[in-house]
Amino acid sequence: MPPPEGPGPGLRPGEEADLLRVRAPLGLPVPAYDGRSLPNVVASVLRGLDVRPTGGPAIVPPLAADLDPFDSRRPEGPVLLFVVDGFGWFPFSAWCRRSRAPSASAWAAGARPITTVYPTTTVSALTSLSSGTTPAQHGIVGPNLYLPRLDAVVDVLRMARLGSPGREELVDAAWSPADVSGAPPLFGRGLRGTAISRHAFARTGFNRVLYEGAEFVGYATASDLAHALVGVLGRGDPPPVVFAYWDELDTVQHLRGTDPGLHDLEVDRLAHLLGHVARALGPGRARAISTIVTADHGFVPVVPELQIRLDRLPDVTAEMEGPLAGDRRSGFVRARPGRIDALEAALARRLPPGTRILRTDDVLAAGLFGPPPFHPELRARVGDLVILPPVPSGLLSPSPRPESRSPEFLGSHSGLDGAELLVPLLRGSLHDLGGADPDGPGQP
């Protein structure tokens, strides 16, 4: 027997539709950078903790007043900012109605939709969250990023040239996160905190882009993450803010697609994990921990046979300067000198109906990456044309990661479909979001 229909998130009339409203002149939705997007979340945390960042670029404004996680009050205790990779708004809303998890009703009551950033991909979104800036400011506009100073496309997660074997090729003694990002993490600008993420990421270049200046605590498994959260939040003097990152929902949706049963099982695990942390800390401490759960992007389905390798289209590559950059659902291409029109025409002939091929100058003017001021290399990094394939199509890099032996992806993201763009913003105490028994075991 299916579970009874439970309460869904409490939406304001037209809230989802307004966030996804297509806007002139491109006829596309634009992330709500003015107060209803992912980087606004950390701006609200800073305001709640009365932290005024020093140095670096100006950050985005805080969340709109109706989304303020602290209701204009200073948090009583530490703030837990828990980022769930691949946690889209629409499947989350359905989980709230179907789930028997003890905390499902609390998650629904404390949830509202916001947008992530464009492109809707992890490297762009996490850099925005850790720096409080938009992709237009920090300049990390995709996992495959063209860097003019190298005249090469770089795999940001591996910090190596696309197609090069191994990892961290670019990270030598002279390397700095500023070589990639135009916005330093807030941890080096006055925010004291701890980052909890995969142990394997501990000394990587991209981890430095996100968390340089923070204490870093690594974990290996879900139980290890729960243990790390209890350890950090249970200290006598816990850090003012804890950034926690969980990636398994993203991994399974890439490999298995947007399967509702699998999604719900993963979110049930996550709810159980937070419940364990709340019970282990005890009701008194858990009530004092302001908890925000959000995400970097959602997911759309992928049909492997509809993925396109531009490097196998000679009439297209003849007009291109260098390889494809960006991501599967938001591709960036550079034209040979004087050949933008020819490249655009070749792409239009070879890409599926419904593909949007946009001039980069128009994309920048429309604010998809965020408003000015722009990273000084933004225009060069994006190139001349932005390609947005329709669901379930996509663009494949000519040089996939050499160490990857995973099956063909069945789920993806980085475009502007509503399922990719909208993510949840859950707010409440750890006690409430954990579904903790007020008389359960734990610290007083």
Q: Tell me, what's the pLDDT at 7?
A: 63
Q: If you ran DSSP here, which 8-state letter would residue 199 be given?
A: G
Average pLDDT over residues 415-424: 98
How many domains does the chain divide into? 2
Residue 65 resides in a domain: yes
In terms of domains, do 316 and 371 share one? Answer: yes
Residue 438 resides in a domain: no
Identify the band that residue 439 occupies on the pLDDT scale cut at 50, 70 and 90.
very low
Residue 135 resides in a domain: yes
Residues of the domain holding 23: 15-299+418-433
**72 token code pair:** 């204009």
In terms of domains, do 178 and 137 share one? Answer: yes
Distance CA 275, CA 257 (A): 27
Distance CA 330, CA 439 (A): 50
In terms of domains, do 312 and 427 share one? Answer: no
**Cα Rg of the chain, angstroms:** 21
CATH number of 318's domain: 3.30.1360.180
Task: Check pLDDT > 80 for residue 405.
Answer: no
Name the percent of the chain lying above pLDDT 90.
Answer: 89
Residue 5 resides in a domain: no
Q: Tell me, what's the pLDDT at 3?
A: 40
In terms of domains, do 425 and 376 share one? Answer: no
Residue 278 resides in a domain: yes
Q: Tell me, what's the pLDDT at 408?
A: 83
Distance CA 420, CA 120 (A): 6
Residue whose token pair is 């916005």: 183
**436 token code pair:** 């903790």
Q: Tell me, what's the pLDDT at 376?
A: 97
In terms of domains, do 91 and 235 share one? Answer: yes
pLDDT tens by residue, 302-352? 999 999 999 999 999 999 999 999 999 999 999 999 999 999 999 999 999
Strand 411-412 with 300-301, pairing = antiparallel
pLDDT tens by residue, 371-400? 999 999 999 999 999 999 999 999 997 655
pLDDT tens by residue, 226-270? 999 999 999 999 999 999 999 999 999 999 999 999 999 999 999
In terms of domains, do 290 and 378 share one? Answer: no
In terms of domains, do 147 and 183 share one? Answer: yes
Identify the band that residue 95 occupies on the pLDDT scale cut at 50, 70 and 90.
very high
What value does the mean pLDDT of the chain take?
A: 93
In terms of domains, do 243 and 311 share one? Answer: no
Identify the band that residue 437 occupies on the pLDDT scale cut at 50, 70 and 90.
low
Residue 440 resides in a domain: no
Residue 10 resides in a domain: no
Average pLDDT over residues 3-24: 80
Residue 2 resides in a domain: no
CATH number of 78's domain: 3.40.720.10
pLDDT tens by residue, 202-218? 999 999 999 999 999 99
Q: Tell me, what's the pLDDT at 441?
A: 41
Task: Check pLDDT > 60 for residue 50.
Answer: yes
In terms of domains, do 267 and 363 share one? Answer: no
In terms of domains, do 272 and 387 share one? Answer: no
Name the percent of the chain lying above pLDDT 70.
Answer: 94
SS3 290: strand
Q: Tell me, what's the pLDDT at 176?
A: 95
Task: Check pLDDT > 90 for residue 163.
Answer: no
In terms of domains, do 286 and 399 share one? Answer: no
In terms of domains, do 398 and 426 share one? Answer: no
Residues 6+ apart with CB under 8 A from 253: 86, 259, 262, 263, 299, 411
pTM given for the model: 0.95
